[in-house]
C-alpha cells in the first residue's frame, strides 16, 4: 500500500492542492470554514490510511505505518501552505513575508488585518469597522482551530506510537472501533465475540443496560466515585442519589460516553478480568479476582481494551486490543441476547 493512494472514504491527494482561481469569490469567513473542513478531511484520510495499513506481517505493518505518518506530515505541510496562499489572495498578509509558509504565523498576523486592495487614505465607515472586527474574530477562531487540529494530529501520533511499543512485544495490536458514544461498549462486545468464535453474547446496547442496572443495584459502591468526578455537572438542588439515578438512566438510554465506572460494573456483570492499555497513562486492570487459575486469561478470556485521549478530537475513545492479524475492520455491533446475572 502506498500512502499517497486514495483510501476508502478519504480525500484524494489532489484535493489538497485546489485551484486558487476557483476561490476568488469566497469571503474570508467562507474560506476559513472551508479550511476547517479540509483539515477534518485530512484527519479522516489519516484514519483510513492507518486502517488500510493494519494488514500483513508485523514488519509490513510497521513499514506501512511509517509511510502513512510521513505522508500525513507532508500533506499537512502542503495544506498549511495552501491555506496561507489563499488568505494572502484575499489581501491579508503578514508584516514579515518570510513567515508566509506558516499558517499559524499568518493567522496570528490577521488579527491586525492589512488589506492591500482598500484605500488607506479613506477613513473606514462604521460598517467597515464592524466587518473588520468580524474578520479579526474569525481569524482568531481560525487560529485556535488550526492549532488544535495540528496538535490533535501530532498528539495522536505520539499516543499511538507509545501504545504500539507497549503492545508489540505482547503480540497484540489495536482493532479500530466505531468512534461514537458507544465505543467502550462496542469494544467490550468485540472482545466477547473474539472469545466466543465471533458470536458475541451481548450487543453494545445490552452491555449499557447491564452496566446501568449493576450500578443502580450497587449504588453504595459507585456513588463515592461518581460524586468525586469533577466532570459531572447536574442540578445542584438534586440529592446525590437522584443525580446518580439520572446518570444511570443516561448510561442505559443514551450514547453517553463510558469510562471506569461503567467498566467497573461490567467486570462484575461479566465475571471478566479487564485490562485497559493507554499510551498517555499507566495501564489499568479491573477484576483481578476473575483471572483464570490456568494463567492463560490474558490471551484467552481477559477483556483487552486501549484508551485513546487524542483519537479523533471528539474526546476520549476506546478500541479493542486483539492478536496480530485480527485488527482489520471497524467494529459495529452484533446481536445475541442474554440477561446479566
Q: What is the DSSP string of 67-117?
A: HHHHHHHHHHHHHHHHHHHHHHHTTB--SSGGGTT-HHHHHHHHTT--BTT
* pLDDT score at 116: 37
Residues 305, 220 within the same domain = yes
Report angle CA 284, 290, 294 to the nearest 5 degrees. 110
d(CA 173, CA 329): 12
Q: Is residue 329 part of a domain?
A: no
Active site residue 35: no
Q: Is residue 332 part of a domain?
A: no
* pLDDT score at 335: 37
Among 110, 137, 167, the domain-final residue is 167
Q: Is residue 331 part of a domain?
A: no
pTM across the whole model: 0.53
Residues 190, 163 within the same domain = no
Residues 154, 236 within the same domain = no
Residues 145, 247 within the same domain = no
What value does the mean pLDDT of the chain take? Answer: 74
CATH number where 268 lies: 3.90.70.80
Residues 190, 58 within the same domain = no
Q: Is residue 330 part of a domain?
A: no
Active site residue 317: yes
Residues 273, 257 within the same domain = yes
d(CA 181, CA 258): 8
* pLDDT score at 150: 56
Q: Is residue 4 part of a domain?
A: no
Report angle CA 171, 287, 277 to the nearest 5 degrees. 35
Q: Is residue 338 part of a domain?
A: no
Q: How many domains does the chain have?
A: 2
Residues 179, 118 within the same domain = no
Q: Which of 183, 248, 269, 331 is catalytic?
A: 183
Residues 160, 178 within the same domain = no
Q: Which of 273, 308, 317, 331 is catalytic?
A: 317
Each residue's pLDDT tens digit, 151-189:
555 677 888 888 999 999 999 999 999 888 899 999 999
Sequence-distant (≥ 6) Cβ neighbours of residue 21 within 8 angstroms:
none
Residues 319, 189 within the same domain = yes
d(CA 34, CA 31): 5
* pLDDT score at 253: 95
Q: Is residue 336 part of a domain?
A: no
Among 115, 145, 167, the domain-final residue is 167
Question: Would you give the end-to-end CA distance of the chain in angstroms?
Answer: 47
Among 113, 137, 167, the domain-final residue is 167
Residues 76, 91 within the same domain = yes
d(CA 206, CA 335): 9
Sequence-distant (≥ 6) Cβ neighbours of residue 289 within 8 angstroms:
none
Q: Is residue 66 part of a domain?
A: yes
Active site residue 180: yes
* Closest C-alpha to 24, from 93, 89, 74: 89
* pLDDT score at 269: 95
Residues lower than pLDDT 50 in the chain? 1-18, 20-23, 94-121, 230-231, 296-299, 328-341
Residues 284, 298 within the same domain = yes
Domain that holds residue 181: 172-323
Residues 262, 116 within the same domain = no
Q: Which of 180, 221, 229, 283 is catalytic?
A: 180
Amino acid at each position: 500500500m502506498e500512502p499517497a493512494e486514495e483510501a476508502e472514504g478519504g480525500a484524494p491527494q489532489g484535493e489538497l492542492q485546489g485551484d486558487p482561481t476557483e476561490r476568488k469569490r469566497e469571503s474570508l469567513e467562507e474560506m476559513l470554514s472551508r479550511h476547517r473542513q479540509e483539515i477534518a478531511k485530512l484527519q479522516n484520510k489519516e484514519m483510513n490510511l492507518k486502517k488500510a495499513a493494519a494488514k500483513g506481517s508485523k514488519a509490513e505493518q510497521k513499514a506501512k505505518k511509517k509511510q502513512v505518518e510521513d505522508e500525513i506530515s507532508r500533506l499537512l505541510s502542503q495544506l498549511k501552505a495552501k491555506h496561507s496562499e489563499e488568505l494572502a489572495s484575499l489581501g491579508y498578509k503578514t508584516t514579515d513575508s518570510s513567515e508566509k509558509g506558516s499558517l499559524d504565523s499568518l493567522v496570528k498576523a490577521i488579527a491586525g488585518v492589512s488589506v492591500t486592495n482598500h484605500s488607506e487614505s479613506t477613513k473606514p465607515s462604521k460598517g467597515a469597522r464592524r466587518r473588520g472586527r468580524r474578520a479579526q474574530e474569525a481569524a482568531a477562531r481560525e487560529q485556535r482551530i488550526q492549532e488544535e487540529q495540528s496538535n490533535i494530529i501530532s498528539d495522536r501520533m505520539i499516543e499511538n506510537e507509545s501504545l504500539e511499543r507497549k503492545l508489540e512485544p505482547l503480540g497484540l495490536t489495536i482493532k479500530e472501533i466505531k468512534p461514537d458514544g458507544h465505543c467502550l461498549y462496542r469494544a467490550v462486545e468485540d472482545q466477547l465475540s473474539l472469545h466466543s468464535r465471533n458470536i458475541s453474547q451481548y450487543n453494545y446496547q445490552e452491555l449499557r443496560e447491564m452496566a446501568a442496572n449493576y450500578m443502580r443495584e450497587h449504588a453504595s459502591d459507585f456513588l463515592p466515585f461518581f460524586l468525586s468526578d469533577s466532570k459531572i455537572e447536574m442540578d445542584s438542588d438534586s440529592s446525590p442519589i437522584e443525580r446518580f439515578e439520572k446518570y444511570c438512566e443516561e448510561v442505559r438510554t443514551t450514547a453517553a460516553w463510558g469510562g471506569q465506572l461503567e467498566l467497573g460494573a461490567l467486570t462484575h456483570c461479566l465475571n471478566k478480568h479487564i485490562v485497559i492499555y493507554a499510551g498517555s497513562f499507566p495501564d489499568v486492570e479491573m477484576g483481578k479476582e476473575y483471572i483464570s487459575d490456568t494463567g492463560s486469561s490474558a490471551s484467552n478470556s481477559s477483556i483487552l481494551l486501549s484508551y485513546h485521549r487524542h483519537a479523533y478530537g471528539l474526546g476520549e475513545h476506546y478500541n479493542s486490543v486483539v492478536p496480530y492479524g485480527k485488527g482489520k475492520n471497524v467494529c459495529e455491533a452484533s446481536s445475541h441476547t442474554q440477561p446479566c446475572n
